[in-house]
């Protein structure tokens, strides 16, 4: 959990007002966030029979998912692979861009806004744009390739390329956003540290590895954690462009859960997958937090 | 040419090459939305200058989505839902943030902890459970379903709390001594001092509501409640994808957040990076 400042601030002891001010928002969050999660966990322990009767079945839904549901396993694996590809890439590229833009040249402002622009565009629109650009027949991408006499690619119609295309469009949309956090972090590092290092004979790469990156640890942790959670829940590109295909190669867990709930009307399975996702996100957030907290030193 | 200038040029070239990856797609979409519907495929292959600069510019694709496809309804719905959520949201979240920043009362730590948990739980991960909940409560397929769940916002509360903590207690005490109620103090003293936080939360909530796809998709099914993202996605899903309409609706649907973003980007970026770094 993020550090809570237990400052010396004198707080006002006001039970009535305190509760009155906090309750509306809290009630809403309770009703629409916390309670549904609790119910969902309970729901995932139930089975809905054909007649509509619900019976308590314990962890049977989960056991079934992991033992006898190849579609789930495939989805699970694909989601993990996707996660392992996209999260490090976002961090690396965002950092790279921030380093490039941290040079204070006049033209930097233009590029900063340009790279950040896609994050004002919704994922649905981003998916639509790249779906069209990557269209094998009329899309811009293959038009370019043909222009340079290179081989046109199948993109979303190929089980080998589809997931990577999704990675690409998510990167396009998000690196500019996270780059801003790195820029803010970089600007928080004072020049003097670098000057002192120069005096000690440190070269560019050394400054990068020994000073910049360690000082950006908190930012990196924040970006990694936020991203891991967010990317596990990728839905829009799959729903709009691939429907999990071709051949299930882009069947991420969130989409699989959606299919369960709204196509197959199997709420138990959908809830179970949803809960698993929540657990994974929670676990990974905890791990990432622990890892970066302990080795954090100024 | 000295070394610094040489480096600048190299940097510029690198940034420009990367920048092309951003500029070219956007320009192509823009150009394609402004060309007569049929000619798109004609100029897709082979690649020529005409692919990016149509011979004839026309607004027919934009007009089409409003007259034939009721995109205006979708835009209206998204605006309505966004404004309603923002109005309610800024009020309740700022109040909660204030309470947690300045008041001490039994249970405040527990409440804060729970709110932090909600903030760690991304909205999309609870769409299925939330759907079941709202269905149980009986207001699936209503505007309320689109608005209410988005009002309470853990991140917003957190941002407000951070901001309010910097307001000196002495200021508040002085007002109390003069007999002002907390409500009055909040409205007349605290909020005016907190405009950057308010702006950040407004932009954040607007973007969130405007860009939402998954939740509106499952929460409503009547076309009269259709929001912008669902409308755009629906275009892509039909058998005969009319690219021209796709482009024009994508652009029309992206204008409001873009405009908002351009107008307020300074505050927004400041707001999110300040909270993120802490």
Q: Could you give all domains of chain A from N- to C-terminal order, each with its CATH number?
A: 53-294 (1.10.3720.10)
Same domain assignment for residues B130 and B30 = no
**Closest CA–CA distance from residue B130 to any residue of chain A (Å):** 5
pLDDT for res B278: 47
Same domain assignment for residues B23 and B130 = no
Same domain assignment for residues B134 and B29 = no
pLDDT 10s digit of each residue in chain A, 298 long?
A: 333 444 445 578 878 888 889 999 999 999 999 998 888 788 778 776 666 677 787 788 888 888 888 999 999 999 999 999 999 999 999 999 999 998 877 888 899 989 998 988 899 899 989 988 998 888 888 888 888 888 888 999 898 899 999 999 999 999 999 999 899 888 888 888 888 888 888 777 777 888 888 888 888 888 888 888 889 989 999 998 998 888 889 999 999 999 988 888 887 788 888 888 888 888 887 887 777 665 544 3
Same domain assignment for residues B197 and B258 = yes
> Phi/psi zone of residue A251: left (φ > 0), alpha (ψ -120 to 50 degrees), beta?
beta
- Would you call B258 and A121 a contact, using CB atoms and an 8 Å cutoff? yes
pLDDT for res B238: 65
Evaluate if pTM is beyond 0.90. no
Do residues B244 and B61 make contact, with C-beta atoms less than 8 angstroms apart?
yes
pLDDT for res B62: 86
- Per the structure, the count of domains in chain B is 2
Interval B215-244: pLDDT, tens: 999 999 888 899 999 988 887 766 456 788
Name the residue in chain A with its Cα closest to that of B150: A32
Domain residue limits at B26: 3-58
Same domain assignment for residues B100 and B228 = yes
Question: Is the Cβ of B13 closer than 8 Å to some Cβ of chain A?
Answer: no
Same domain assignment for residues B52 and B80 = no
Instruction: Tell me whether residue B144 is in a domain.
Output: yes
**Closest CA–CA distance from residue A185 to any residue of chain B (Å):** 7
- Would you call B250 and A129 a contact, using CB atoms and an 8 Å cutoff? yes
Q: If you average pLDDT over every residue of chain B, what do you get?
A: 85
Q: Which of the listed residues B58, B81, B97 is the one where a domain comes to its end? A: B58
- Would you call B272 and A29 a contact, using CB atoms and an 8 Å cutoff? no
With a CB-CB cutoff of 8 Å, which residues 108-137 of chain B face chain A? 108, 111-118, 120-122, 124-133
Same domain assignment for residues B227 and B154 = yes
Instruction: Tell me whether residue B105 is in a domain.
Output: yes
pLDDT for res A167: 95
Same domain assignment for residues B94 and B226 = yes
Q: Which residue from B177, B160, B211, B210 is spatially nearest to A124, judged by alpha carbons?
A: B211
Interval A125-145: pLDDT, tens: 999 899 889 988 888 888 888
- Would you call B207 and A120 a contact, using CB atoms and an 8 Å cutoff? yes
Instruction: Tell me whether residue B63 is in a domain.
Output: no
Cα–Cα distance, A139 to A134 (Å, whole number): 5
- Would you call B22 and A271 a contact, using CB atoms and an 8 Å cutoff? no
Residue A286 neighbours by CB under 8 Å, 6+ apart? none
Interval B68-104: pLDDT, tens: 778 889 999 999 999 999 999 999 999 999 999 888 8
Alpha carbon B21 to its chain's center: 23
Instruction: Tell me whether residue B211 is in a domain.
Output: yes
pLDDT for res B1: 63
Which of B16, B43, B105 to substitute to test the interface with A, most A CBs within 10 Å?
Answer: B105
């Amino acid at each position: 959990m993020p550090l809570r400042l237990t400052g010396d601030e004198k707080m006002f002891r006001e039970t009535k007002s305190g509760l009155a001010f906090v309750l509306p928002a809290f009630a809403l969050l309770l009703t629409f966030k916390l309670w549904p999660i609790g119910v969902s966990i309970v729901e995932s322990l139930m089975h809905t029979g054909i007649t509509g009767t619900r019976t308590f079945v314990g962890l049977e839904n989960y056991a079934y998912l992991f033992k006898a549901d190849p579609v789930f396993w495939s989805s699970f694996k694909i989601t993990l692979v996707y996660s392992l590809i996209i999260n490090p890439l976002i961090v690396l590229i965002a950092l790279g861009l921030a380093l490039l833009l941290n040079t204070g040249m006049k033209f930097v402002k233009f590029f900063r806004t340009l790279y950040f622009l896609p994050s004002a565009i919704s994922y649905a629109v981003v998916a639509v744009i790249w779906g069209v650009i990557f269209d094998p027949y009329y899309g811009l991408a293959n038009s370019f390739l043909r222009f340079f006499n290179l081989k046109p690619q199948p993109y979303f119609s190929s089980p080998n390329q589809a997931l990577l295309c999704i990675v690409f469009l998510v990167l396009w949309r998000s690196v500019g956003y996270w780059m801003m956090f790195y820029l803010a972090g970089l600007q928080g590092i004072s020049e003097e540290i670098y000057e002192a290092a120069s005096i000690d004979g440190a070269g560019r790469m050394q400054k990068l590895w020994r000073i910049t990156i360690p000082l950006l640890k908190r930012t990196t942790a924040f970006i990694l954690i936020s991203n891991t959670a967010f990317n596990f829940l990728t839905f829009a590109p799959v729903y709009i462009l691939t429907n999990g295909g071709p051949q299930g190669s882009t069947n991420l867990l969130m989409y699989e859960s959606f299919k369960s709930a709204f196509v197959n009307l199997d709420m138990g399975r959908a809830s179970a997958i949803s809960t698993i996702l929540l657990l994974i996100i929670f676990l990974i957030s905890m791990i990432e937090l622990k890892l970066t907290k302990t080795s954090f030193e100024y | 040419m000295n070394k610094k200038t040489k480096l600048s040029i190299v940097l510029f070239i690198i940034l420009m090459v990367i920048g092309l990856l951003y500029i070219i797609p956007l320009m192509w979409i823009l150009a394609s939305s402004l060309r007569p519907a049929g000619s798109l495929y004609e100029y897709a292959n082979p690649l020529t200058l005409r692919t990016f600069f149509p011979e004839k510019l026309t607004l027919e694709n934009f007009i089409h989505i409003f007259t034939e496809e009721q995109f205006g309804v979708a835009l209206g719905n998204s605006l309505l839902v966004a404004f309603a959520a923002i109005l309610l949201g800024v009020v309740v979240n700022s109040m909660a943030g204030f309470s947690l920043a300045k008041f001490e009362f039994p249970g405040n730590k527990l409440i804060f902890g729970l709110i932090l948990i909600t903030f760690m739980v991304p909205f999309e991960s609870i769409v299925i459970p939330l759907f079941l909940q709202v269905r149980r409560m009986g207001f699936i397929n209503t505007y309320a379903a689109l608005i209410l769940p988005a009002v309470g916002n853990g991140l917003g509360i957190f941002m407000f709390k951070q901001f309010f903590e910097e307001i000196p207690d002495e200021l508040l005490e002085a007002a109390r001594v003069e007999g002002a109620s907390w409500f009055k103090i909040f409205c007349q003293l605290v909020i005016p001092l907190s405009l950057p936080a308010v702006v950040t939360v407004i932009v954040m909530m607007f973007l969130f509501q405007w860009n939402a796809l998954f939740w509106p998709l499952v929460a409503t099914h009547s076309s009269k409640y259709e929001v912008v993202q669902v409308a755009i996605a629906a275009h892509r899903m039909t058998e005969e994808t009319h690219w021209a309409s796709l482009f024009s609706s994508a652009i029309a649907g992206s204008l409001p957040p873009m405009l908002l973003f351009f107008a307020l980007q300074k505050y927004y970026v400041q707001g999110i990076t300040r909270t993120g770094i802490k």
